Amino acid sequence: MHLNLAHLAYVIAVAKAGSITEASAEVGISQPAISAAIRGLEDTFGYKLFVRNRAKGLALTPTGRRFVGRAQKLLDEAGAFRDEVQGLGDRVAGEIQIACYHVISPYVLPPVISGLARDHPALSIRLHEGSLVDVVNIVKEGTADIGITYDMFDDSNVHLERLLPVRPHILMSKEHPLMAKKTISLDDLADYPFVMLDMPGVREYYQNLFRQNNIQPDVKFRARSLELVRSLVGLNLGYSFALLPILSRRSYSGDVIIRRPLSHDVDDAHLCLVSPKDTNRPRKIEAFADICRQEIVAAVEAHSLALVD
Reading the chain (309 residues) residue by residue, the pLDDT tens digits are 567 888 988 988 898 888 898 889 888 889 999 999 999 999 988 999 998 876 667 888 999 899 988 888 888 777 767 766 665 555 677 888 999 999 999 999 999 999 999 999 988 888 999 999 899 988 988 888 999 999 988 787 889 999 999 889 999 999 999 999 988 999 999 999 999 999 988 899 999 989 988 999 999 999 999 999 999 999 999 999 999 888 888 888 899 999 998 887 787 889 999 998 877 778 888 999 999 999 998 888 877 765 555
The alpha carbons of the chain give a radius of gyration, in whole angstroms, of 23
Residue-level pLDDT at 149: 94
Give strand ranges (E) for 131-217. 146-150, 158-166, 169-173, 193-197
Residue 35's CB is within 10 A of a number of other CB atoms, namely: 14
Report how far apart, in Å, the C-alpha atoms of 58 and of each of 21, 55, 173, 282 are.
Answer: 11, 9, 50, 33
- What is residue 284's predicted lDDT score, i.e. its pLDDT? 86
Q: For position 6, what pLDDT does the model report? A: 87
Question: 48-86: per-residue pLDDT in tens?
Answer: 999 887 666 788 899 989 998 888 888 877 776 776 666
Report whether 280 contacts 83 (CB < 8 A): no
Instruction: Evaluate whether 23 touches 17 at the Cβ level (below 8 Å).
Output: yes
Contact 223, 203 (CB under 8 A): no
Sorted by where each starts, the structural domains of the chain and their CATH numbers stand as: 5-85 (1.10.10.10), 94-165+270-306 (3.40.190.10), 168-267 (3.40.190.10)
Q: Quick one: the chain helix, strand, coil %, rounded to 5?
A: 45, 25, 35
Total length of the chain? 309
Q: In terms of Cα–Cα distance, which of 52, 53, 59, 42 is closest to 7?
A: 42
Structure confidence at residue 59 (pLDDT)? 87
User: By C-alpha distance, which of 117, 83, 97, 103 is closest to 291?
Assistant: 117
Neighbouring CB atoms inside 10 A of 45's CB total: 12
Distance (Å, whole) CA 86 – CA 284 = 9
Using DSSP, state whether 149 is helix, strand or coil: strand
150 to 259, 264, 295: CA distances (angstroms): 21, 21, 16
Determine contact, residues 162/188, Cβ cutoff 8 Å. Answer: no
Q: What does the pLDDT read at residue 86? A: 60
The Cβ of residue 193 has, within 10 Å, a number of other Cβ atoms equal to 16
Cα dist from 127 to 25, 101, 102, 124, 136, whole Å: 14, 11, 10, 10, 14
